[in-house]
Amino acid sequence: MKVTISDVAKLAGVSTATVSHTINHTRYVSEETRDRVMHAIAELGYTPDASARSFRTGKKRTIGFIVPDISNKFFATLVETLEEYLAQRDYHLVIANTKENMDREETNIRLLSAGLVDGLLVASTMDEFDRFDQLIPAAFPVVLVDRVFPVKKYGSVSVSNFQPIYRSVCRLAGKGDRRVGFIGGPERLSTTQERLSAYRQAVADCGLADEESLVQYGDFKDNSTLRCLDALLQQQCDGLIVANGLMATEIIMYLQQKGIQLGNGIDLVSFIDYNSSFNEVYANAMDSIVQPVDELGRAAGEQILRRIEEPEAPVLEQVLSSTYHPHTMPISWNHSDR
């Protein structure tokens, strides 16, 4: 039997009108009520009929972007670039923040793909492709951004960081570092996996210490980055690869608090995911891997519009390249307005 809006209202303990306002954002709904409605929708697998009919009959000129952490400046920069790109083409952008929570991502995919938007951009936090795949309606336009899956069913725009990481580890080895640690994000993410594979290959090729304890994983919250750093400092690491811009910022500040000098007390390779004066201050004391964030955003916008306008077109897997800057070189950006 088909799930109705009344079923959702009953499970959430609210009126059908409240469910409608929550779905369509037509009236203020408290965070607590919204969470109950979202939970009920996810539990019941509800698809709003009115939105589905609208999806079949016409475009909203609206794109959904599901991001794992809007407070991360990397994703905030992506959003800004995407909004500008889409606005120039008379499209609007709707943001859903999952906070790296797979259940929240599932709920938002269900809602947005039920006809609220014409297509979805997703930086997924899912650990399994099948769970993600079963949420997407047949023929619905979807493009994966930054994070991808091994199964190449959907279009994607990502950044390859293998060569910059490999080169940076070899450079540290050439300087005399023997114990180079690696700090990455959650192990399930494709970005972490690619960066770690580059680190492991370089460590092996350069004859550096190859110990599992030299690899640490954070989760972008609850000071996990600092726990990773403490673990590596206890192992007397003389070099660090920090494979995430948000984590790198936290580590630089923490090293300062501990009185450890970059380039002297320890060598650091930092990911730079966004332009900021903070990064510029330390550019001459660390090696940097700069990601083409603006290019990534524009490419994602271009690809999702193509998927909408040409649904039968072949799936495109687009891979951009980051840039490695040894600390003797100044960091340059490909835009002048930031």
Q: How do residues 90-120 score in pLDDT, each as one tens digit?
A: 899 999 999 999 999 999 999 999 888 999 9
Q: Are residues 36 and 79 in the same domain?
A: no
Q: Are residues 151 and 61 in the same domain?
A: yes
Which CA distances in Å does 101 have to 124, 126, 220, 297? 10, 8, 12, 22
Q: Are residues 144 and 58 in the same domain?
A: yes
Number of domains present in the structure of the chain: 3
* Mean pLDDT across 22-44: 84
Is it the case that residue 55 has pLDDT exceeding 70? no
- Going by their DSSP bridges, the two strands 323-325 and 267-272 should be labelled as unpaired
* 143 located within any domain: yes
What's the pTM?
Answer: 0.79
For the chain, give percent helix, strand, coil, nearest 5: 45, 15, 35
Q: Are residues 136 and 74 in the same domain?
A: yes
Return the DSSP state at 68. S
Tell me the one-letter amino acid at 222: D
Distance in angstroms (rounded) separating the CA atoms of residues 17 and 28: 12
Q: First vs last Cα of the chain: how many Å apart? A: 54
Q: Are residues 1 and 42 in the same domain?
A: yes
What's the CATH code of the domain at 267? 3.40.50.2300
Q: Are residues 252 and 177 in the same domain?
A: yes
Q: Are residues 155 and 300 in the same domain?
A: yes
Mean pLDDT over each residue of the chain, to the nearest integer: 88
Is it the case that residue 294 has pLDDT exceeding 90? yes
Q: Which two tokens stand for residue 187?
A: 């192990």
Q: Are residues 155 and 166 in the same domain?
A: no
Q: Are residues 174 and 285 in the same domain?
A: yes
Is it the case that residue 52 has pLDDT exceeding 80? no
**pLDDT tens for each residue of 229-238:** 999 999 999 9
Q: Are residues 61 and 140 in the same domain?
A: yes
Give the containing element (helix H, strand E) for 58: none
Residue 328 has a pLDDT of 57
Q: Are residues 119 and 185 in the same domain?
A: no
Return the DSSP state at 261. P
* 39 located within any domain: yes
User: Could you list the residue range(s) of the whole structural domain that residue 25 is in?
Assistant: 1-46
Residue 48 has a pLDDT of 67
